[in-house]
Amino acid sequence: MNRTRIPAPLLAALGLGMASPAMAGFVEDSKASLELRNHYLNRDFRQSGAPQAKAEEWAQGFTARFESGFTEGDIGVGLDAIGELGIKLDSSRDRRGTGLLPFGPASGEPLDEFSELGLAAKLRASKSVLRLGTLQPVLPVVIYNDTRLLSATFQGGMLTSQEIDGLTLNGGRLTRANLRDSSGRDDIGYGAASSDAFDFAGGSYAIGPQLAVSYYYGKLEDIYRQHFVGLVHTQPLGGGFNLRSDLRYFDSREDGQERAGEIDNRNFNGMLSLSHGGHRVSAAWQRMSGDSAFPFLNGGDPYSVNLVTFNTFTRAEEDAWQLRYDYDFAALGIPGLTLMTRYVDGRNARTATGDHGEEWERDTDIAYVVQSGPLKGVNLRWRNVTFRSGNGLTTDLDENRLILGYTLALW
């Protein structure tokens, strides 16, 4: 879609007129978009004696994003902004809990709407950028959640440096979190435990066009500290076949006052993917060792190959394997249509009763993005989930999600 010019009266109203040459990059390199996401989720709890027979909600989300360029000079200044609004279309007290909508703590009724506004100032010097304010990091030790109506955000500061070719360094501190179904900003934390800050540092290095390695360290003060080492390798095999290897290892321990209790977890997980044409077949393995589950920030997701639609398979001592198949129908002359199906099986998970819990999940995603015409860019996704568990793990459910989305580039 072609970008439209920003009207001069609007620039003048914002105090960003072109009279100052230093502001040229701030305006000319800026971009803004509006994402619309309509999300329906139906979760049917299958086990007998469940406190809630089903969770079913339907809502409309709006996410506006603005990213400025940088002012000219040795140190450039910029500003990013995100505004999120969620509106209830259908829900009730007895069908809440899908993660789409917040509900009142006293009444238990889902709220009609919720929203957030976040700003981040940014400074650029050479090939390094410092951001202060609302952040959405995507790093092994902290990944913001974006699987429901609105995405989660964090508050803090983050420095990204790319001064050396092939090397990307990141470091910073987060102090607050805005969850995906909340308008408030909570203290950064893990589970029911809260902390003053989460500090992180590390980077990735591309050894060549086919091999990259990474290391990160994160510390949630007085709760846990975590080391991560990763490797990603791609290898053309000839005949149109390509092999991708993604290996990840975490070592997590308690920190300081141990507000979440003892944390002792080693998490090795990896995935091998073979692709050819529109086909991709993947196999994954995950091994947990230690006395506790794998820790990750509230408002975030675990960086694991077995993070799937419903479950994370990150319980203490759990072993899990996955088989996955993806197909892009562009290979058959139907661009925009894709299919994903996978099965994950978890065994030996430690339960409260000391049993070796078992769980499995089967997911199917069918998605289509309109390629032309007045609806170009509109995307529709159907997600189907079956989850079962046993030996001390009691969650069973069938789930369907329908997601209709569109992102409009404003300029």
- Are 221 and 195 spatial neighbours (Cβ–Cβ below 8 Å)? yes
8 pLDDT above the threshold of 50: no
Average pLDDT rounded to a whole number, residues 243-256: 98
34-409 under CATH 3.30.70.1290, yes or no? no
Q: Give the closest residue to 399 by CA, choosing from 325, 311, 328, 314.
A: 311
CA–CA gap between residue 120 and residue 137 (Å, rounded):
13
Q: What is the pTM of this model?
A: 0.91
The structural domains of the chain, with segments of one domain joined by +, span 34-409
pLDDT, tens digit, 9 for 90 and up, residues 153-212:
999 999 999 999 999 999 999 999 999 999 999 999 999 999 999 999 999 999 999 999
What pLDDT was estimated at residue 49? 66
On whether the CB atoms of residues 52 and 94 are closer than 8 A, the answer is yes
352-to-223, 346, 355, 359 alpha-carbon distances in Å:
21, 17, 8, 15
Comparing 1-10, 85-94, 334-343, the range with the smallest average pLDDT is 1-10
Where residue 25 falls among pLDDT bands split at 50, 70, 90?
Answer: confident
pLDDT in tens, 124-151: 999 999 999 999 999 999 999 999 999 9
Helix, strand or coil for residue 156? strand
Backbone phi, then psi, for 317, in 5-degree steps? Answer: 65, 15
Q: In this predicted model, what pLDDT tens digit does every residue of 251-279 receive, in sequence order?
A: 999 999 999 999 999 999 999 999 999 99
Q: What confidence score (pLDDT) does residue 215 get?
A: 98
Mean of pLDDT over the chain? 93
Poorest-pLDDT segment among 57-71, 110-124, 341-355: 341-355
Q: Where are the beta strands (DSSP E) in 278-373?
A: 279-289, 319-328, 337-350, 356-369
| C-alpha–C-alpha distance, residues 367 and 392, integer Å | 35
